[in-house]
Amino acid sequence: GIQVEQSPPDLILQEGANSTLRCNFSDSVNNLQWFHQNPWGQLINLFYIPSGTKQNGRLSATTVATERYSLLYISSSQTTDSGVYFCAVETQGGSEKLVFGKGTKLTVNP
């Protein structure tokens, strides 16, 4: 099946810093989503981005489908950005709905 790798596994920032999270995937995808998991476990949908670039406030994402990677940019980070960020993909004809990476744990210190 498809492999999804996220990097870095852990990231510690000072408030106000910028960061880039990466997601590599091993096959063509129909769906790619970025999620933020809050401390209570809820997965918050950030972007649905199988290709192209999207922006939402301080967050933006880019997926280069032909090169099989996606990037999530966080600018001017805040302590509330802390948590785990997951990339998940769905493939055409795949037996699984969404395949998740292992996540990037982000800690933003005041």
Partner 1 sequence: KAGVTQTPRYLIKTRGQQVTLSCSPISGHRSVSWYQQTPGQGLQFLFEYFSETQRNKGNFPGRFSGRQFSNSRSEMNVSTLELGDSALYLCASSLWSGRIADTQYFGPGTRLTVL
Q: Which of 1, 23, 25 is nearest to 93 (CA)?
A: 1
Residue 10 CB, nearest approach to partner 1 (Å): 15
Of the two residues 58 and 102, which places its CB atom closer to partner 1 in the complex? 102
Secondary structure tally for the chain: helices H, strands E? 0, 11
Residue type, 5: E
- The residues facing 109 across adjacent strands are 14
Question: Least Å distance between CB 16 and partner 1?
Answer: 29
SS3 71: strand
Q: How far is the CB of 42 from partner 1 (least distance, A)?
A: 5
Residues interacting with partner 1, by CB under 8 A? 30-31, 33, 35, 40-45, 48, 50, 86, 88, 90, 92, 94-100, 102-103
